[in-house]
Every structure is written in C-alpha cells, then in structure tokens.
Amino acid sequence: MLNNKLINLITNKTDAGKRIDQFISQNSELSRQRISTLITDGHILLNDEVVILKKIKLTGDNEQIKITLPEPIEEILEPENIPLNVIYEDDHILVIDKQSDLVVHPGAGNSTGTLVNAILHHCGSSLSGIGGQKRPGIVHRLDKNTSGLMIVAKNDLAHNNLSKQFMDHGKNGDLERIYDALVWGIPKMSSGKIETKITRNDRDKTKMMVAKNTKNGKLAITTYRVVEKVYNHKNEPLISQIRCKLYTGRTHQIRVHLEYIGHPVICDQKYGKGYNTKLMLLSSEYREQLKIDRYALHSSKLSFRHPISHELMKFESRLPDDLNLLKNVLSGI
C-alpha cells in the first residue's frame, strides 16, 4: 500500500525463494534501479532489519517489508525558459512536439539549453521526482535534429509504467511510434519491412550500422510506407515522403535502415552518403533554399496507454514548416 512516503508489503508462501528486489518490483511501481538505490541507501527494511543485499531470498512466511521513500533531491540542473509546444499535460505526463536543434538530455558539452532544462522550468513544483530526484522522466529520446512528439513522465509511477510500455515496443500493448521522413529517391516497393541487426560502426563510434555478421548487434525492425512521390521535370524519381513504424528502439534506427535500403534521409550528413553529390547537381538557386540545419525526420504519431487511467492516448503532429518548404522546393525542380 502506497501512503505518500511509505510502502508496506507482506509476503506469502508463493513468494518463497524470490529475491527481495524482484518481489518489490512485482508488487510496486518502483523500477529495479530505484529499488537498488533504496537498498544501498538503507531505506528498505525486512522484518524491521535493514536490507543490505538485493539478492536476499524471501521465505514467504508473512515477512514484513517496509520501504521509505525519501523526499526528492533538488536537481542540480537549472530550469530554463525555453519555449515548448505542449500538446497535452496532466498531473502525471507531458506530451510535447519537440522542435529541431534541441538536445533532449544534458550531457558532455550540453549542460544547458536542453529539453530537460525547459521542462524543469515549465513544470516547476508539479514534478514529484523520478528516481529520488526532482527531474522529468525521459521515457524515450529524439535525436537533437529530429522534431516531433515525445512523452515525458512527471513522477515515478508514470515513469515506471511508460518505461515498461516502451520496452515492450507494442508487442503486447498499444504503444505505437510513427515517423515521417523525406528521403532521396523513390523505393521500388511502396511498402516493406526492414529487419536487420544494428551495431556500432567500427570506424566511427558516433555512428551505427547494419551488422555484417548476424551474430553481432541487436535486432532492429522497421516497417515503411511511401506516402508521396516527387519527380523532377524530366519525370525522374527525385524524393519521397516515407512513413516509418518502429518495432524496436535502436539508436538511429530509422536513419540507418533508410540508408541501408538506398534511400537516406535528406540533409542527414551522418548517414546520407549521396547528400552532397545530389545537392551539387541542383542549381545554385535551389541549393541556397535547401540550406536547413537538420535532417528531414519527424516523429508524427504517438499512441500509448495512460500510465494511471490506462486510457488509450493518440497524438499526431503534422510535418513542420521547414520540412514542408524543403519538399516544396524540391518539388519545383
């Protein structure tokens, strides 16, 4: 039973042999990482004795487990008044339409000016804490130059539930993530499934690649559908708008997969091998208009179950102005 800062649990015979961290995870909304931290900090008691090791096994003999949740620690990160396009908000979650050129989480070289800094300012005291800190729960990330829909948790309860939904990738639930991409060329197949292993690039650790050896890497599955085709004045294939659905969540997955099938995302300098060559074939007038500082990828649809009410939530975001301009300019060639 959850009563603000205290959780009381009682074991029974069916719990005999279970590790205490496993039992707590199954009977509360606390994540394994959060439980591990609480044990390390001495906040979990088993029959009124402090639990030291998370691998302690239970007897199932009506053991009393008491978990004290300390007040969230103030996040060191500074709130910043960065404009946010908030699509939906309640006491538990926040859905935003992220602009491009915005890093999601602070890291090396990005301690300020991030989405997290912006959310800290926007939410203020409504953040009850994630993992013992007053910070937003980033359930999934978009690359700096990818725009579109994102969901953020405001508390541990929402964060744990949403994390499980995203880890499942919609296999057993209603999670759905769809992206729109403008790519060079037009795929021969109007729809298809890309299933590969993705691993880190041996030559460039900032890049991912389709694994040459199927024993390496992690499974990545993307389906796609061509929603618009653009030809030049000679009726030659030029670009297309492709709608991609993710069934896994690998780093740079869509960008890697679209490069793999020979249709890289326009303006993607990391994975768009043919970008510079194709751009140089255009007239100087068109090249000038195409100088955008991000690649043409947008998170356009997001569906999930609300972590508290379990209501099915569906959100859509239209292609942003800069990508529509890009498409229109290329359509006029």
Contact 5, 68 (CB under 8 A): yes
Q: What is the mean pLDDT of residues 82-108?
A: 90
**Residue 3 reports pLDDT greater than 50:** no
Predicted local distance difference test score (pLDDT) of residue 206: 83
Closest CA to 143 of 207, 89, 66, 211: 207
**Residue 281 reports pLDDT greater than 80:** no
The CA distance from 94 to 151, in Å, is 6
Phi, psi angles (nearest 5°) of residue 326: -60, -45
Query: 1-15, 148-162, 208-222, 258-272: which has the minimum mean pLDDT?
Result: 1-15
Query: 31-40, 112-121, 173-182: which has the minimum mean pLDDT?
Result: 31-40
Higher per-residue confidence, 95 vs 112: 95
Domain with CATH 3.10.290.10 in the chain: 2-68
Tell me the residue length of the chain: 333
Predicted local distance difference test score (pLDDT) of residue 287: 66
**Residue 1 reports pLDDT greater than 50:** no
Q: How far from chain centre, in Å, is Cα 264?
A: 21
Q: Which two tokens stand for residue 324?
A: 């529509």
Q: Which two tokens stand for residue 89?
A: 């908000």
Fold entry, domain 176-331: Pseudouridine synthase (3.30.2350)
Predicted local distance difference test score (pLDDT) of residue 292: 73
Q: What is the mean pLDDT of the chain?
A: 86
Q: For domain 73-168, is the CATH number 3.20.20.140?
A: no
**Residue 119 reports pLDDT greater than 50:** yes
Using a cut of 0.95, tell me whether the model's pTM lies above it: no
Q: What is the mean pLDDT of residues 8-29?
A: 90
Asked about 143 being catalytic, the answer comes back as yes
Contact 102, 142 (CB under 8 A): no
Residue-wise pLDDT for 296-313, tens only, equals 999 999 999 999 999 999
Closest CA to 313 of 129, 161, 207: 161
Q: What is the mean pLDDT of residues 135-144?
A: 84
126 φψ region: left (φ > 0), alpha (ψ -120 to 50), beta (else): alpha
Residue-wise pLDDT for 178-230, tens only, equals 999 999 999 999 999 999 999 988 888 789 999 987 778 899 999 999 999 98
Predicted local distance difference test score (pLDDT) of residue 139: 86
E strand map for the chain: 2-3, 6-10, 44-46, 49-50, 64-68, 73-74, 86-89, 93-98, 133-134, 137-138, 147-153, 176-184, 191-200, 208-210, 218-231, 237-246, 297-305, 312-316
Q: Which CATH number fits domain 2-68: 3.40.50.1100, 3.40.50.720, 3.30.70.260, 3.10.290.10?
A: 3.10.290.10
Q: What is the mean pLDDT of residues 119-126?
A: 84
Predicted local distance difference test score (pLDDT) of residue 72: 64
Q: How confident is the model at residue 73 (pLDDT cuts 50, 70, 90)?
A: low
Residue-wise pLDDT for 240-275, tens only, equals 999 999 999 999 999 999 999 999 999 888 898 665
Q: What is the mean pLDDT of residues 70-97?
A: 86
Contact 323, 298 (CB under 8 A): yes
Domain with CATH 3.30.2350.10 in the chain: 73-168, 176-331
Q: Which two tokens stand for residue 1?
A: 């039973």
Q: Which two tokens stand for residue 100?
A: 């491009």
Instruction: Spot the catalytic one: 15, 97, 143, 293.
Output: 143
